[in-house]
Amino acid sequence: MENYKKMVANLQEVDDIIKAVQVLQWDRETNMPRAGSIERTHQVSTLRKIAHEKGTSAEFTDTLGAAAQDVADLDADSDEVRLVALIQRLHGRQSKLTTEIVQRLAQAEGAATSAWIKARADNDFESFRPYLETNVELARETAELYGYENELYDALLRGYEYGISAAEVRTIFDAVKAEIVPLLQAIIEKGRPIDDSVLYQPFAVEKQEQFAREMATAVGYDFSRGHLGEVVHPFMTNFSQNDVRITTRWYPEFLSSGLFSVLHEAGHALYEQGTHPNFSRTPLASGTSLGIHESQSRSIENLVGRSRPFWERHYPQLQATFPDQLGSTSVDDFYRAINKVQPSFIRVEADELTYNFHIILRFELEQALLSGDLAVKNLPAAWAEKMQSLVGVTPDTDSNGCLQDVHWTRPSAFGYFPTYALGGYYGAQFMEAMTEQDPTIADQLSTGDPSGMVNWLRENIHTPGSKFPPGELVIRATGRPLSHEPFVRYAKKKFGAIYEL
């Protein structure tokens, strides 16, 4: 097993470099003076170049081949065999990129991130447009280098959700639209508006943060191995199992945004804190796909955090935190307010139903940008038109439209967006499976206690890390492939009750 050990040692060195990059990126998003952008871009670019060279060198390629021979006689599900298989897949993908393009990707991301932060604040798409044009070209170039059989988009999607194609995603999205559009129409036709004005009041940020920390702890996030920061666009990052950080953004006169972003990112963090310790400093110590990752965040945010039992348990504490704002509002009215179905501009603040259309919009626009059917200069108008047709609203500004998401500052992030919706479907399927397998989980959830749910996720989803590809993992956990149907059943039951359909 000497070659296997040598391979692992190399992987650990590369992982250390990548984690150092992530520390620099965390700092860029949370603390770094804007004036430091150019130097930080060079620092990230240099480290990514070193990591790429170490991970794709001829020496490592030979070591990987020899390591595969070392583990050839081991059980097919052993950690060693699975790690080698994962590295062979990742190595095959990364080896198709030149060092030069890896550096260009890092440099483009650094420049675009700073430009986007300013453009979003100033509602100035034109200032961001040249950076996005560069990123679209780089995304096309990397897709061509990766290679694909049917669609260019497949090459990029594969990096985030291995084993699924753009055509399969379209099929799933079409099936969801066929079920959710009539549900939305029924809600609208019911004509039973929900008053959510209680959420739009002065809420002291320091009290919001204190309560959000307590809720993150309540769902299992370990602050002794974590940290909560403030950013323009919420995200989670991890440097090890013992350093998994989350972020949010606070609004002093809107309660939901900061709170539910914390719960969302805490769901991501639970996944990273829960991978097996033996996988430390290797690619196994991370979520197996962005769709599976998103299933964890959306489950904690929505299946738990927007459930009635959760608030029956925790609403008295929230009322005590904000007695003037919530003291006369019942838990039933609060529950209905946080689950109000209403078309809105901002994806991260969208309700569970219309959220799907925010993702479909981005999925379709990405494909049009990459294919050349849509020029970057025409993106604001195309966004507004598609937002109106899919979501039912037209953005009042580009900051509330095509500038709202951070993802397109990264050319490597094209192909990412579909995983957000897929995560909702994975999450609902996991919920159905766990309550079928262990009815006591449903009993606990009915009291607002997610511990049994988190334990099931820890065993079936978190601990394996990236040991199993997403398609295999969902079958192992639930006994069947991914389906949109559990989500549709969940949505119809929940919102049918809220709106008395």
**Between the CA of residue 202 and those of 196, 254, 280, 303, what are the distances in Å?**
14, 7, 43, 27
Largest Cα–Cα separation, the chain:
69
Contacts of 324 (CB under 8 A, 6+ apart): none
The verdict on whether 485 is a catalytic residue reads no
**How distant is the alpha carbon of residue 434 from its chain centre?**
22
Angle in degrees, CA 167, 292, 306, rounded to 5: 110
Helix (H) or strand (E) holding 236: strand 236-240
- Any residues with CB less than 8 A from the CB of 338 and at least 6 apart, and which? 196, 199, 256, 260, 306, 311
Chain centroid to CA 432: how far? 21
Q: Pick the catalytic residue from 29, 109, 161, 265.
A: 265
- Bridge partners for 237 per DSSP: 245
Distance CA 348, CA 400 (A): 11
- 27-61 burial string, b = 16+ CB within 10 Å, else e? ebbbebeeeebeebbebbbebbbbbbeebbeeebe
Give residue 280's region: left, alpha or beta (phi > 0; psi -120 to 50): beta
- Catalytic positions are 265
